Structure 1
Amino acid sequence: MEYKETLLMPKTEFPMRGNLPNNEPKRQEKWSEQDIYSKVQQRTEGRPLFILHDGPPYANGDIHMGHALNKVLKDFIVRYKSMSGFQAPYVPGWDTHGLPIETALTKNGKVKRKEMTVAAFRKLCEEYAREQVSRQRDQFMRLGVRADWWNPYITLDKAYEAQQIKVFGDMAKKGFIYKGKKPVYWSPSSESALAEAEIEYQDKRSASIYVAFGIKDGKNVLAGDEKIIIWTTTPWTIPANLGIAVHPELDYNVVLVDDNKYVVAAGLLEKLKAEFEWENPQVVNTIKGAELEHVVAEHPIYGRDSLVMCGDHVTLEAGTGCVHTAPGHGEDDYIVGQKYGLDVLCPVDDKGNMTDEAPGFEGMFYDKANKPITEKLEEVGALMKLTFITHSYAHDWRTKKPVIYRATAQWFASIANFRTELLQAIKDVEWLPTWGETRLYNMVRDRGDWCISRQRAWGVPIPVFYEENGEPIITDETIDHVSALFREHGSNIWFEWETKDLLPKGFTSEHSPNGEFTREMDIMDVWFDSGSSHQAVLEERNDLTRPADLYLEGSDQYRGWFNSSLSTSVAVSGKAPYKGVLSHGFALDGQGRKMSKSVGNVVVPNDVMKQLGADILRLWVASVDYQSDVRVSDKILKQVSESYRKIRNTFRFLLGNLHDFDPKVHAVKKEEMDEVHLFMLVKLNEVIDKVKTSYDQYQFSNVYHTIHNFCTIELSSFYMDLAKDTLYIEHADHPERRAIQTVMYESVLALTKLVSPILSHTADEVWEHIPAVREDSVQLTDMPEAESFGDVTKLKAKWQHIMSVRDDVLKALEQARNDKKIGKSLTAAITLYADGDVAQLLEKTPSLEKLFIVSGVTLGGSLTDAPVEAIAFENLAIVVDKAEGETCERCWVVSTTVGTHDKHPGLCTTCHDTVETYYQD
């Protein structure tokens, strides 16, 4: 007889290797054939809705690790919620307007922009954007993200644009939209205004100059022979100077130096003394800033008036306490200038060149004008000092070139008009991490009005008409009409049709007696596009609701999408568009550096999936503390792959030992189980409870570590290890074997469901091999419910103690193996010496041989009885010897009963009896 044929060895078609790069696409094809997204929605219909609203990635280029991190985190949540009592539709979106697409088309002369109409160029932009959407959709789907991929929202779609026009109209109706000439971030390299979210800061070397302004009219406060010293790092704005700001409550000194009198803040005198190397400055007068109000200084180049004004923005942090004020080139300058009735002078054009309003410097690029302006100041004796400093300066996030503050006629959303409501809405939202609330609150509290117009071609036009006298027309009638036209034809008609054809039929206006109208040709800031999605998507679609339960994006979106969405939503609905906001950090390389092609440290999601598979990438996302910046590298992914292998092997072992198990027939009742099996079920249910709580709290690393530890420690290293002999050697229906299989069945069923949101491909693969499951996919099931076992405190304490003792025994066996005293553990017989709790534990625990996987266990007495050669631990001493007897050819146990049976001399008594009873012909 071949004894191996009497062993019930594991049998499963679930492969040891996942071969994920090849098998995942096949599984995704199956999901597509099943229309798994629709099936999940149908199964969960009628449940409470959970809406995670997708922040739209920009449709340009392949996805990067930040995209992968974001989309996978969202998929975890949506998959879990749909298995936890909710209906969780997930509608993906794309942001498709803006400069990057214009640049992509015109770069390298691909498209001759100036040789075509705006409408023709926009059509090329749309074609390109849709190609990018398709490209990115394939890559997101390859990640295993489950979504309504063939019915997404795209900001260039007609219905979306129609709703965006409605948002603009609602805000205008409430008085939140206005046109004004004021300084905004302006990018000469893009020839457009920019939003705060489009600004990044880089170091820049700038001239630092001190300039003296003579006095024209001292208003009986100054004698008239003084000079006020200002400081600036933007000499090119000196031609735009119309005033000087002082703080009303600060003291200002009139300082006599070498027959010259200078006015500076008293609190900065010592610093300026060193700066100008003044040897003997004498303070001849001290005046409050408020007294200097309305003093008239003289522009050092042009001789025009420069008005002294009071402003609370003036500080003693730098400069002289007398602030150069150019209302066309600074927000504080503009505000104080408006208060005192100054013009908004801006002698710089769209391209950044000085205009004829800066005589002597016309045509110069603003940055190039710094030197000649400084030289002119020196020539007229006004330059006090010139140095250079390197400081953090605003740059265009797309072109990476410096931006300027420049006053132009722009459309604005007046944040000031509903700031109180915005701040309250922020307080009503749940923020994770909690610091997100403070971050956005401070941003909204301190931000100026939002410039929403852009001087570009590719975007949603600002739906404003103008009367013959230049007055803007924004009425319910025009907004509704334009919205309806865009819903039917799309926004390109704004650039194709005549103005009269865009207006409601028969439209008239008292200020256009000739019936002549024009239209605004600027487009809306792309942040207004995506920021309108709460209405264009959540309100537009029947399967979604506003507010969403959750917005989840990178931490850069506090000043981006979180902010713009909040502004438009509070403006039109009075409430935030989200109940909760969750943010994540950035994906960095293994050393914590920003990924860069030039550095060569970029980890590309597509490459990872081709080499390792999407489930490895998904497991990496689950393993990191995503609320901070996260690191990824080949080494890190290799470690994640090893963790995946251990989890997969656990599933394979469980499945392999359930090949003859039918839960309806073979499951053992809890009350009929030995303690070790109950202990494992208790541990399993603790895992269920902890994992579900972690999912609820979006703590995915806790999910990962809990499942990984249970698979590798409690299951692999403990339970499955000691269960092998019983599973393989006992007859099929042995009560212990069926009890073990019952535990394993419940474990594989629960673990597959618990891991499904993370290892979506692997979980579905496991599900196909679990006996007696009815559903086509684990995605069509609910999370397991944790079962109560009553008070299990003593049971847990006992078996945790046993596991600790077992660890000591295994260490002793390993030491004996290293000393060549034994081979495999079954060749060993051990003698244990212990006192107190450990001694009682060993005496009361049956089947110690199976627990320790040895051929003999003897309790030798107390610790004081242990011989010198014993391997000592804190509460236990162990002597490891070779077991006496011969090795059984069936179970590999060393036993003195081998050779005592005539019929099966190579078997121990236990195996002899089993073979005789169950395996005779």
Structure 2
Amino acid sequence: MCADTPEYKDTLNLPKTDFPMRAGLPKREPGWLDRWNQIDVYGKLRQKAADGSRQPFTLHDGPPYANGHLHIGHALNKTIKDMIVRSHQMMGFDARYVPGWDCHGLPIEWKIEEQYRKKGKNKDEVDVVDFRQECRAFADSWVDIQRDEFKRLGITGNWDKPYLTMDFHAEAVIAEEFMKFLMNGTLYQGSKPVMWSPVEKTALAEAEIEYHDHKSHTIWVPFSFAAASGDLAEARVVIWTTTPWTIPSNKAVAYNDKVAYGLYRVDATEEESWTKPGDLYIFADTLAEDALGKSRVTEFTRVRDVATSEFDGAILKHPFNGIDGAEGYWDYEVPMIDGDHVTDDAGTGFVHTAPSHGADDYECFVKRNWLDRMTHNVGEESEFLPHVPFFAGLRVLDHKGKEGKANNAVIAKLVEAGGIIARGRVTHSYPHSWRSKAPIIFRNTPQWFASVDREVGDGQDEMGKTIRERALNSIDQLVKWWPQTGRNRLYSMIESRPDWVLSRQRAWGVPLTCFIKKDTLPTAPDFLLRDPAVNARIVEAFDAEGADAWYAEGAKERFIGDAANADEYEQVFDVLDVWFDSGSTHSFVLRDREDGTEDGIADVYMEGTDQHRGWFHSSLLQACGTKGRAPYRNVVTHGFTLDEKGNKMSKSLGNTIVPEKVVQQYGADILRLWVAQTDYTADQRIGPEILKGTADSYRRLRNTMRFMLGSLADFTEADRVDPADMPELEQWVLHRLAELDHQVRKGYQSFDFNGVWQAVFNFATVDLSSFYFDIRKDVLYCDGNTDRAKAARTVLDILFHRLTTWLAPVLVFTMEEVWLERFPGDESSVHLVDIPETPADWLNEPLAAKWAQVRQARRVVTAALEVQRTDKVIGASLEAAPVVHVREDDMREALKSVSFDDICITSGISLTGDPMPAEAFRLPEVEGVGVVFEKAEGEKCQRCWKILPDVGQHAHPATCSRCNDALG
């Protein structure tokens, strides 16, 4: 600039904003949390719907367990829920969210017992009510901690009044819901094998089980025939098992009609073998060679086929039959039975059947009505009971879950009795308690069950007469699944599941509030006391005093009252499975609270995929037993969180990501943005590099918002331009907004936050920052108060309101910051407004098609200029005035109609239909467009920096005509 040329910088309309480039989220977010609390944003939203103008929308919170700090799975889960609630609120619903906690059960009880053990204190010597109070206090302390941790993530909800399964009213309703099963005929006491934790001394549900590799004993055990004709009289049927300790409880041997069997003779053996030449054994043909090899048989002969008809009615002897010192304990008949569960994939083709210790075994006996043949040989610590010869007191697993002495003792006794031909070890997947991490056993024990196949006597038969029918019909007819694979998973589980084990032999929980008649069989009609007045007294007491009332002195007499002679009844002290607690939450949250739902049904349940066997599952069963249908309309499922390499997170591997650490380093909005960027329906990954990428995306978006704020600093309603009067470029932006508004709403309605984020982010960074803003900076900075500048600012205002509200459910803190930068005020908040309605007439497909051509041609020009910039021929695109050859007439006419030089940010441009010269720059993907580089002619305007022939010919020195007019 010449010395006598005025300084024109101050005459430009440059962006003005205090919105910082650096977010400083970790330090600033707590201030916004305090502000939301002070102005009571959640309460104001509820007041907004008080007139009934907004349709209620309720996401029912699956309760986390109140026993530890949050992990990354908690953060993912609660953030998705928050996005669902916030997005529906901003789409016009009254979106309520009541956070809740699961407070009863073994994990908390286990923690208190651990404290006792450290102090050398015996739990059994502590008064049960005192023990329960310690559990209550422990849970309460963690509720407070987790609540603050959830709030720090920006989760909105009724935090002052959450639901707790240990609240007195909740305990009363859980008991009331249980007694509905008592009254409708689905509750029964049965003796069947259940998954039992010897460490925790309680039955476990499938949802409380995880599978780990476990090394087990393997043994091959021959059973002699008690009576048989021909060569079978000397033969023995061989079974294979990985649980030697169950042999004393054997009651049958199973085979399968579809398996081919053969009679095999031992011809030669190694020197040390538990077989001898001439021995005859029966195996499945596909397994004989392997089994005989394990028995150290070196030569054998297949004598003949053995038809399964020969097993029909056959009776075997137990391996301990006739053994000295057993006083005939095992001298009973062992029938051969057919079973579909028998395969010839491994083992011998025969299955040792102990109905007290296996699900398939038990079902075989149920089918034959042989339940009177069940054994009760193993106690709650996995110890053989006193009546079992040889093994009394020996444990399968010790108090830490390590192998006890039972297996080796049984194997040794089999060797002594000649009842074993081979042994070994195998590593296989085996069920463990997910709390103690110790192996479990299957153990026959009296438990309380809810039948899934008995008719429910409540008259609510629209979805079916049994719990299973109601559940399966609800899955298909009443519920939408996101993703649909969730339907398939839960349906198959419900279709094949056994009856629900409701009882746990613990202390911290809601008791099974029922009474059983003394000296009466469980199958007798009067075994259970069913009396509405008794039930009502229990509910009333629990509501006032909590479930501890069940354990008070004289409770039995108090509750039974005059309904029966209390001396004739026993009080049940088992507690309910905690999945029954959480499965009942729909009753005391959705049904009973003012912020619940009219019909007690939630619009959405949203949890991880493990909850198909957990909360989704138990809620469905519980509600089908008491309401006759599913308690939800939509079920949304997320996957598990893995590290950056796709490995499961583990403290031992050192690859865990703690939400608190992420918040301290980046801020909660970055963690929330990570959630939005993932496809949560599958397993997702997180780690330092992924979070860096997330932070980079955040910075790019923040720059977009900062540009809008700066450009809107002086915008007033007087500047607003009607869309019909806007230039085509602005009308094209409005068209894109209309398209995007539909996409955003559809995405939020279908819980697709990844789709919403990608669409909005790409629009903000590609359509806006790299295209529209890039083009319109010149107009906004240099035009002054022209109609074109007013139209651009009007579009920026429209963009501002859409982008802030579209993204507020995701970036709750940042969009609040953006909003308050423009609309400060004591009561102002982006979270108190809705997404603006977008006029349908903004859609303009012909205009969009035209501008698609313009953008294609622009790509060729900018790519051609980039080559010149790289070669240092020019420093900026305004130094160019290229010649653009356009083959197609319609594209050429489109470019002529839109100030194509401004679109390409050049000082001039020449459009021609002449054939492209050989040196013309082309892009392979854009046919029919070529660019020949030419430098702009003229002088550089010292205000807008365009190079034009008329610069210096106006009143204001060194300006072009446009800048001269803008300066007045």
TM-score (norm 2): 0.89
CA contact (8 A) 1:246 1:289 kept: no
CA contact (8 A) 1:482 1:502 kept: no
Looking at structure 1, the residues matched to 635 and 895 of structure 2 have their Cα atoms a distance apart, in angstroms, of 56
* Paired residue secondary structure (1:914): helix
Instruction: Rate the CA distance shift 1:502–1:247 in 2: closer, same or farther, 3 A.
Output: farther
Instruction: Rate the CA distance shift 1:341–1:717 in 2: closer, same or farther, 3 A.
Output: closer
Does residue 430 of structure 2 align to residue 393 of structure 1?
Answer: yes
Does residue 919 of structure 2 align to residue 868 of structure 1?
Answer: yes
Looking at structure 1, the residues matched to 702 and 310 of structure 2 have their Cα atoms a distance apart, in angstroms, of 76
Instruction: Rate the CA distance shift 1:477–1:839 in 2: closer, same or farther, 3 A.
Output: closer
Question: How much has 1:135 moved relative to structure 2?
Answer: 0.7
Does residue 42 of structure 2 align to residue 37 of structure 1?
Answer: yes
Question: How much has 1:246 moved relative to structure 2?
Answer: 2.9
Query: Corresponding residue for 1:746?
Result: 798
Looking at structure 1, the residues matched to 286 and 872 of structure 2 have their Cα atoms a distance apart, in angstroms, of 83
Instruction: Rate the CA distance shift 1:697–1:775 in 2: closer, same or farther, 3 A.
Output: farther
Amino acid at match of 2:741: I
Query: Corresponding residue for 2:273?
Result: none
Query: Corresponding residue for 1:761?
Result: 813
Amino acid at match of 1:632: I
Task: Give 1:455-466 correspondences, 5 Å limit.
Answer: 455-466=505-516
Query: Corresponding residue for 1:877?
Result: 930
Query: Corresponding residue for 1:439?
Result: 489
* Paired residue secondary structure (1:182): strand
CA contact (8 A) 2:534 2:560 kept: yes
Question: How much has 1:291 moved relative to structure 2?
Answer: 4.7
Query: Corresponding residue for 2:318?
Result: 298
Looking at structure 1, the residues matched to 310 and 575 of structure 2 have their Cα atoms a distance apart, in angstroms, of 43
Amino acid at match of 1:20: L
Correspondence for 2:334 among 307, 323, 340 = 307
Instruction: Rate the CA distance shift 1:591–1:766 in 2: closer, same or farther, 3 A.
Output: same
Instruction: Rate the CA distance shift 1:889–1:246 in 2: closer, same or farther, 3 A.
Output: same
Query: Corresponding residue for 2:857?
Result: 805
Looking at structure 2, the residues matched to 422 and 897 of structure 1 have their Cα atoms a distance apart, in angstroms, of 80
Instruction: Rate the CA distance shift 1:837–1:110 in 2: closer, same or farther, 3 A.
Output: farther
Does residue 623 of structure 2 align to residue 569 of structure 1?
Answer: yes
Task: Give 1:542-581 correspondences, 5 Å limit.
Answer: 542-545=594-597, 546-581=600-635
Larger displacement relative to structure 2 (178-187 or 476-485): 476-485
CA contact (8 A) 2:517 2:570 kept: yes
CA contact (8 A) 1:863 1:877 kept: no
Instruction: Rate the CA distance shift 1:568–1:535 in 2: closer, same or farther, 3 A.
Output: same
Cα displacement string for residues 635-676 of structure 1 (whole angstroms, at most 9, x for unaligned residues):
11111111111112111111211122123x221112211211
Amino acid at match of 1:227: R
CA contact (8 A) 2:937 2:948 kept: yes
Amino acid at match of 2:300: N
Correspondence for 1:355 among 367, 385, 402 = 385
Amino acid at match of 1:719: Y
Query: Corresponding residue for 1:792?
Result: 844
CA contact (8 A) 1:817 1:824 kept: yes
Question: How much has 1:580 moved relative to structure 2?
Answer: 1.7
Instruction: Rate the CA distance shift 1:48–1:899 in 2: closer, same or farther, 3 A.
Output: closer
Instruction: Rate the CA distance shift 1:882–1:476 in 2: closer, same or farther, 3 A.
Output: same
Correspondence for 1:671 among 724, 728, 735 = 724
Question: How much has 1:446 moved relative to structure 2?
Answer: 1.3
Question: How much has 1:502 moved relative to structure 2?
Answer: 4.1
Query: Corresponding residue for 2:358?
Result: 330
Does residue 368 of structure 2 align to residue 318 of structure 1?
Answer: no
Query: Corresponding residue for 2:501?
Result: 451
Looking at structure 2, the residues matched to 869 and 335 of structure 1 have their Cα atoms a distance apart, in angstroms, of 81
Larger displacement relative to structure 2 (570-579 or 98-107): 98-107
Looking at structure 2, the residues matched to 443 and 281 of structure 1 have their Cα atoms a distance apart, in angstroms, of 45
Instruction: Rate the CA distance shift 1:189–1:340 in 2: closer, same or farther, 3 A.
Output: same
Looking at structure 2, the residues matched to 502 and 113 of structure 1 have their Cα atoms a distance apart, in angstroms, of 30
CA contact (8 A) 2:860 2:923 kept: no
Looking at structure 2, the residues matched to 869 and 628 of structure 1 have their Cα atoms a distance apart, in angstroms, of 48
* Paired residue secondary structure (1:803): helix
Instruction: Rate the CA distance shift 1:490–1:867 in 2: closer, same or farther, 3 A.
Output: same
State the number of aligned residues: 907
Query: Corresponding residue for 1:234?
Result: 243
Looking at structure 2, the residues matched to 278 and 356 of structure 1 have their Cα atoms a distance apart, in angstroms, of 42
Task: Give 1:511-530 correspondences, 5 Å limit.
Answer: 515=567, 517-530=569-582
CA contact (8 A) 1:432 1:582 kept: yes
Larger displacement relative to structure 2 (321-330 or 684-693): 321-330
Query: Corresponding residue for 2:542?
Result: 486
Looking at structure 1, the residues matched to 96 and 923 of structure 2 have their Cα atoms a distance apart, in angstroms, of 59
Question: How much has 1:768 moved relative to structure 2?
Answer: 2.2
Amino acid at match of 2:596: L
Question: How much has 1:860 moved relative to structure 2?
Answer: 5.8
Query: Corresponding residue for 1:123?
Result: 133
Task: Give 1:819-898 correspondences, 5 Å limit.
Answer: 819-837=871-889, 840-841=892-893, 844-859=896-911, 862-864=914-916, 866=917, 868=919, 874-898=927-951
Looking at structure 1, the residues matched to 474 and 223 of structure 2 have their Cα atoms a distance apart, in angstroms, of 47
CA contact (8 A) 2:262 2:302 kept: no
Question: How much has 1:787 moved relative to structure 2?
Answer: 2.1
Larger displacement relative to structure 2 (124-133 or 820-829): 820-829
Cα displacement string for residues 359-410 of structure 1 (whole angstroms, at most 9, x for unaligned residues):
2222222143222221221222221111211111111111111100011111
Looking at structure 1, the residues matched to 102 and 688 of structure 2 have their Cα atoms a distance apart, in angstroms, of 31
Looking at structure 2, the residues matched to 506 and 842 of structure 1 have their Cα atoms a distance apart, in angstroms, of 93
* Paired residue secondary structure (1:280): strand
Correspondence for 2:472 among 423, 426, 433 = 423
Correspondence for 1:778 among 785, 806, 830 = 830
Cα displacement string for residues 121-143 of structure 1 (whole angstroms, at most 9, x for unaligned residues):
11111111011111111111111
Cα displacement string for residues 292-337 of structure 1 (whole angstroms, at most 9, x for unaligned residues):
3252423336552242142433333333333212122112222333
Question: How much has 1:196 moved relative to structure 2?
Answer: 0.8
Cα displacement string for residues 550-601 of structure 1 (whole angstroms, at most 9, x for unaligned residues):
1110000000111111111101111111112111100111111111111111
Looking at structure 2, the residues matched to 469 and 222 of structure 1 have their Cα atoms a distance apart, in angstroms, of 50
CA contact (8 A) 1:821 1:881 kept: no
Does residue 288 of structure 2 align to residue 288 of structure 1?
Answer: no
Does residue 207 of structure 2 align to residue 187 of structure 1?
Answer: no
Structure 1 gaps of 5+ residues are none
Task: Give 1:192-231 correspondences, 5 Å limit.
Answer: 192-218=202-228, 224-231=233-240
Correspondence for 2:747 among 689, 694, 709 = 694
Looking at structure 2, the residues matched to 414 and 175 of structure 1 have their Cα atoms a distance apart, in angstroms, of 9
Amino acid at match of 1:80: S
Question: How much has 1:250 moved relative to structure 2?
Answer: 5.5
Question: How much has 1:837 moved relative to structure 2?
Answer: 4.0
Does residue 401 of structure 2 align to residue 369 of structure 1?
Answer: no
Cα displacement string for residues 788-846 of structure 1 (whole angstroms, at most 9, x for unaligned residues):
23773321121111112212222222221111111122233323233224762465234
CA contact (8 A) 1:691 1:703 kept: yes
CA contact (8 A) 1:296 1:305 kept: no
> Percent sequence identity over matched residues?
41
Query: Corresponding residue for 2:270?
Result: none
Question: How much has 1:741 moved relative to structure 2?
Answer: 0.8
Looking at structure 2, the residues matched to 421 and 567 of structure 1 have their Cα atoms a distance apart, in angstroms, of 9
Instruction: Rate the CA distance shift 1:416–1:314 in 2: closer, same or farther, 3 A.
Output: farther
* Paired residue secondary structure (2:88): helix
* Paired residue secondary structure (2:56): coil
Instruction: Rate the CA distance shift 1:447–1:643 in 2: closer, same or farther, 3 A.
Output: same
Looking at structure 2, the residues matched to 214 and 382 of structure 1 have their Cα atoms a distance apart, in angstroms, of 9
Instruction: Rate the CA distance shift 1:502–1:790 in 2: closer, same or farther, 3 A.
Output: same
* Paired residue secondary structure (1:705): helix
Looking at structure 2, the residues matched to 772 and 857 of structure 1 have their Cα atoms a distance apart, in angstroms, of 44
TM-score (norm 1): 0.94
Query: Corresponding residue for 1:71?
Result: 78
Query: Corresponding residue for 2:523?
Result: none
Query: Corresponding residue for 1:597?
Result: 651
Looking at structure 2, the residues matched to 270 and 786 of structure 1 have their Cα atoms a distance apart, in angstroms, of 75
Query: Corresponding residue for 2:59?
Result: 52
